[in-house]
A and B are shown apart, each in its own frame.
Chain A
């Protein structure tokens, strides 16, 4: 057993990676689209794709962290919306400097996550129900404050960051990349990160090993809230206005990306790289459908079919690699 991973060829080792099928699917998609349309690989289109990748990725990470400890956060979108309008409001109504507004926004997100975590741990009620209820509360605060009217007058520099680019690279890509690296490092190499995965992998064992389980669950929720806030702030920059509707359609995607990336709903098993690749794949599919001028009535159908195909490919890989 122990030498299993040693004696494999490069191909086998590649196949054994959770993300290999996704990588293959992405390459196939890229090649096909590049062949189909010369516009696909233009600088601007690459910029467009990278830009739409940013928010979704952080949202996926936000959900991934709660999945890691076997919990769910149904309030990612609601919390994101709340942070978005809070940041917008602080900048427009109160004239806060951008860094102050951003830090306050992150603090609100973390606080929301902390509330989720504490309620889950202290009451012992299923996190699913807690976050469903808090999601409604967050949305309520959002709508109560804004009465659904966006904040428009944001500082020019902040908005410019959302649209600026260096050749094909949007400035907007910087935060998600930094977050991905930090998160991968956090989960792989730091004590709290490992504790988080340990609690997800076997909560009883973690507790017997002296890991403060409740505190780790609260930490996961808090980080999830923090990331939701980061995604929301990025979305505000990207859209150039603080819309109360930011976050309404995050939920499904937040689950889809980590799970297509191989995360288990039962906890303990997540991958930053695979989640990121899943987001890339989804973005390519969506971009490709616009590019290929797909009849609107077929968009939904093809989206489903392509997700299914990606999943099937991964399944095939797992069977081949013997890891089924």
Chain B
């Protein structure tokens, strides 16, 4: 049940973008690689990966790019799925780590069998044999989100952090990020408390409403770093009719977007799942074919989790760009894909 956060429903991200870049880059080198894109478990965030995989297969002439979902959010189900796909002849894996640390042993085994793997959407914790991590920088996203919240509060106030599963290592990172952003205000902003384990609907509903019930007059802002509490908090503020408390959430759930439109939510941190799947498949194909290798001295971003990070694009959706952010993400995807080879790979 790990990492049930982030997520969005940008299914709509059209093939258009794919077709655009596909014509340029793909079709030339048909490959017989079978690539699997594996999320941590069933979650709406990953839905765009299916289309992204299909598009990538078509655009880049890959034999197969399949979206394979573990039956539940359990690390062992994810690793079993990976293992069985190896038995079925898959040659590369794009994985959202069901656990940032726990996945590494499996990746190590994959690379020992000359099967490359990349972390998509979320990173594995270094040291890891993942070729690279293309995703949302967990720390940075939480940091930027908190900064956005602080800005909307006018630089002062009391905030509460709503976080995901406590036993997930990423949760600790997010807590640190929030605290870092708060510390930079030199005491103008204070954290009242971190509320964790809010990734299940009912738990989130209960805890967040309890928080609002008890302290709605004392707190000024909410930063949510997980998918479900973002949705629940947006909804609760709307019920309460409270526009005073500012909320910055994560992901573009319809409820959150509506909240932004109606002024109950200050903003939300968008992620780019389609781009992660699409670019991830493209690069994995190059690596698995032996055409390219990962460059050691590329301009990687260093994060607390890994030294081989590529930002798939994080941007704040607010009232200003709620209508256009999808196009922004498309641009980012195109940009990453077209420059990836030169920036990060050494190719024959």
Contact = CB atoms under 8 A, between A and B. Distances in A.
Contacts of A48: 209-210, 212-213
Contacts of B215: 39, 291
A293 B114 CA distance: 50
A291 B196 contact: no
A249 B166 contact: no
A150 B44 contact: yes
Contacts of A39: 213-215, 217
A130 B77 CA distance: 22
A163 B11 CA distance: 29
B47 A249 contact: no
A56 B249 CA distance: 27
Contact of B42 (A143, A296, A297, A300): A143
Given A296-B166, A296-B194, A148 B44 contact: yes
A248 B139 CA distance: 28
B255 A240 contact: yes
Given A143-B42, A147-B42, A148-B43, A240 B235 contact: yes
Contacts of A240: 235, 255
A296 B167 CA distance: 11
Contacts of B207: 286, 290
A96 interface: no
Given A55-B202, A235-B201, A246-B202, A290 B42 contact: no
Interface in A116-173: 139-140, 143, 147-150, 152, 163
A17 interface: no
A245 B200 contact: yes
Instruction: Give the contact-size bracket for chain A.
Output: 35 or more
A61 interface: no
B149 interface: no
B214 A291 contact: yes
Given A143-B42, A147-B42, A296-B196, A47 B213 contact: yes
A286 to B, nearest CB: 6
B42 A45 contact: no
Given A248-B200, A290-B195, A239 B232 contact: yes
A45 B218 CA distance: 14
A287 B255 contact: no
B200 A290 contact: no
B10 to A, nearest CB: 12
B211 interface: yes
Contacts of B163: 296
A145 to B, nearest CB: 12
Nearest to B207: A290
Contacts of B188: none
Nearest to A297: B166
Contacts of A46: 213
A243 interface: yes
**Chain B facing A: main interface SS:** helix
B2 to A, nearest CB: 13
A163 B44 contact: no
Contact of B210 (A45, A140, A246): A45
Interface string A241-269: 10111101100000000000000000000
B81 interface: no
A44 B213 contact: yes
Interface in B233-292: 235, 239-240, 254-255
A293 to B, nearest CB: 5
B180 interface: no
Given A241-B255, A249-B203, A296-B194, A44 B42 contact: no
B260 to A, nearest CB: 15
Contacts of A66: none
B197 interface: yes
A51 B236 CA distance: 12
A286 B206 contact: yes
Contacts of A37: 214
A148 B203 CA distance: 19
Contact of B205 (A49, A52, A296): A52
B192 A239 contact: no
B44 A296 contact: no
Contact of A290 (B1, B43, B211, B239): B211
B156 interface: no
Nearest to A45: B213
Nearest to B41: A148
Interface string B13-46: 0000000000000000000000000000011100
B295 interface: no
A139 B1 CA distance: 14
Contact of A249 (B11, B195, B202): B202
A19 interface: no
A21 B197 CA distance: 29
A245 B201 contact: yes
A283 B326 CA distance: 41
Nearest to B238: A163
Interface of B: 1, 4, 9, 11, 42-44, 47, 69, 71-72, 163, 166, 192-197, 200-203, 205-207, 209-217, 231-232, 235, 239-240, 254-255
Given A139-B72, A243-B201, 9 more contacts: A39-B213, A42-B213, A42-B214, A52-B206, A150-B44, A239-B202, A287-B210, A293-B192, A300-B166
30 contacts: A37-B214, A40-B214, A42-B214, A44-B216, A45-B210, A46-B213, A48-B210, A48-B212, A49-B213, A51-B209, A52-B205, A52-B206, A143-B71, A147-B42, A148-B47, A152-B255, A163-B235, A240-B235, A241-B231, A243-B201, A245-B201, A283-B206, A286-B206, A287-B206, A287-B210, A287-B213, A290-B195, A291-B210, A296-B194, A296-B197
